[in-house]
Amino acid sequence: MIKKTWFISDLHLDPTRPQLITLLHEFLDDIQNQASALYILGDLFEFWVGDDVVDSVAGQAFLPVINHLRQLSDQGVQLYFTQGNRDFLIRQRFISSTGARLLADIHKINLYGVPTILLHGDTLCTDDKNYQRMRRLFRTRFIQNIYLSLSLKRRSGQASRVRKATRKQTQVKHNDILDVNQQAVEQLMRNTQVTQMIHGHTHRPAVHEFELDGKKAIRYVLGDWHDRASFLEASPKGLKLVW
């Protein structure tokens, strides 16, 4: 059997939506005997307030997910995780518990002979100036340490308020602002010397083909898991996006 590589993102798992957690378990069961690697490109969780969230009553719902991922890695499937804009506070405790490897925001791999860039995708939304300023602030270690020093209850309350505020802002922003900037896409590809990119974040699954400096380039956008599984399946035979 040819082993395959899977890419997923934007599951936004939350204890209030147990059906999504069940959907992930079914997906992991389906791929476990076929997979050589699984890449989770951010926003696995709706909001991750720190690795100690699993010590809370609400966070207990995530323990089966962590254990299932660990089971997968123990069976020899290589797990990789990229932080998204909702779970950038995932730290070493989660990574060690799952047996995954934490990737940099931008990570280059050789995908069956094709140099490929992997990322969550939010850094490509350069037209959303307010979001990019907020992202730079929240990604500083100083701000993160202050936040993580708060009680779990206060962190959860603040996370809830941030989600509500973000939801309101998204509703009034123009769709083009919320999507990636094509110039940013092309510049990153030039800088990293690739013609293939895989990312999530926008919840707009698609395969974009375009010309980059006289060469054919392709960008795969992963879908979210709002009501069904979405993934990119890769093998030596090619890539297939499902949403």
List Cβ neighbours of 168 (8 Å cut-off, separation of 6 or more). none
Averaged over 146-172, what is the pLDDT?
Answer: 85
Do residues 25 and 72 touch, judged by C-beta distance below 8 A? no
- All structural domains of the chain with their residue ranges: 4-242
Q: What are the tens digits of pLDDT across the range 20-32?
A: 999 999 999 999 9
**How far is CA 140 from each of CA 8, 91, 166, rounded to the nearest angstrom?**
26, 14, 19
Q: Return the pLDDT at 94.
A: 97
4-242 fold: Purple Acid Phosphatase; chain A, domain 2 (3.60.21)
Instruction: List pLDDT tens digits, range 192-217.
Output: 999 999 999 999 999 999 999 999 99
Q: What is the pLDDT of residues 31-89, one digit of tens each?
A: 999 999 999 999 999 999 999 999 998 899 999 999 999 999 999 999 999 999 999 99
Phi (first) and psi of residue 39, to 5 degrees: -105, 125
Instruction: Identify the pLDDT of residue 171.
Output: 65
11-18 mean pLDDT: 94
